[in-house]
Amino acid sequence: MGMLLGGCASPKQAGLNEGKRFGQTPDTFEAQRDLPPSTRTLYAMADILAAQGKDRDCEFTLKRCIQQEPKFTPAYNKLAELLMRQGRVHEAAGVLSEALRINDTDPILLNNLGMCCLVQRRYGEAVEHFTKAAGQIPESAKFRANLATALALLGRQEESAALLQQVLPEEQAKHNAEVLRKAHEKVISGPTSI
Amino acid sequence: MRLCWTIAACLLCSLFLGCQKSVSDNGADKNIDAELVRTLNNIGVENAIITQHTIYPYHFVTDGEPLNELGRRDLAVLARHFTENAGVLNVRRGQEPAALYEARVAQVVQNLKKAGVDTGRLKVSDEMPGGTGMPSERVVTILRLAPQGASIAGSNRTTMGTSRR
């Protein structure tokens, strides 16, 4: 009992067990203690910083993540989310475009870039990105619904309604189609935000 | 006293092991749940595609005749359905010029053939006029499957060719 409790309380002991768990000898684990944090660690830290509202630190951490491992696309997504939250849509679109140069079929990146285009009222481009995202994961209701939104805002109401009917119950689909039709009317009538 | 400590230690160990098992079970359950939701979504979307039996302009590359990835996927669902069942497939024209629209219809027919839909059962016709002021839409009619053992060649094809509509 004493040993059990002792084991849990001692951080050094816990650390050694951790090393063993990942197939490392205690010596290897000790040697790696002074290494800089891995990309995954930084990425997890960015999550914590974002939850704490420390946006500047979070942005710095994510940029470091990208610098350290440029092919780690989730970091681009998270950075774009942060920038979108701050209203820096243009920068967010830039970050996502950069990530798509690494993996141009990533559906999450495509969907998020589509959202940026939607906010920037570039509906044609939004349709392109949402279509590609839905093509990668055809069963995704989210991607099809986003495509429906972009199509409706382009005035392609029939196509939009058809897509909504694929992913929503009939009544909800009709209601959403009507909301989108009104939004389109607002878009073409003036520069007020939708 | 020693017995009490031993029992307490055993209880603690069993509790600890119990918690570990529960955590790993939860992980597996989550995966099953996610896969189940994915499958149900897939079935739901596929059923809706079959019910609509329509190819829309968003299924094609912008200003082009080839189907995009989403178009290929949705048409594959319809092709699977039409290899077994008769029916009608609409190709919506939208605002596209006539020449592009014709090329798109040809693409759809070609893709259905590639997917294994019997070419003898395909019939393209202007059966669904859009009404006043609207362009007519092409309808690809997939004729009923021939009964087993019956020939589908030659003129028999036409006589059996009643669509489900």
The pLDDT tens digits of the residues spanning A89-123 come to: 999 999 999 999 999 999 999 999 999 999 999 99
* Nearest CA-CA partner of A157 in B120, B56, B139: B56
What is the 8-class DSSP label of residue A88?
-
Please name the residue that has the structure tokens 């940029």: A63
Residue extents of the structural domains in chain B:
22-52, 54-160
Q: Return d(Cα B57, Cα B92) in angstroms, integer.
A: 7
To which residue do tokens 């669509």 refer?
Answer: B163
DSSP letter for each residue of B2-52: HHHHHHHHHHHHHHHHHHHHHHHHHHHHHHHHHHHHHHHHHHHHHHHHHHH
Spell out a b/e string for B26-45, using b for 16 or more CB atoms within 10 Å of the CB, else e: eeeeeeeeeeeeeeebeeeb
The complex scores an ipTM of 0.75
For chain B of 165 residues, list the mean pLDDT of each consecutive stretch of 10. Answer: 71 60 61 75 89 93 94 94 87 90 93 86 61 62 60 35 34
Q: Tell if the CB–CB gap between B5 and A1 is shorter than 8 Å.
A: yes
Tell me the C-alpha distance between B139 and B26, whole Å.
50
Q: Which residues of A touch B (CB under 8 A)?
A: 1, 4, 124, 127-128, 131-132, 134-136, 138-141, 144, 147, 151, 156, 158-159, 162-163, 165-167
d(CA B67, CA B60): 4
CATH of domain B54-160: 3.30.1330
What residues of chain B lie within 8 A of the CB of A170, using their CB? none
Specify the pTM: 0.72
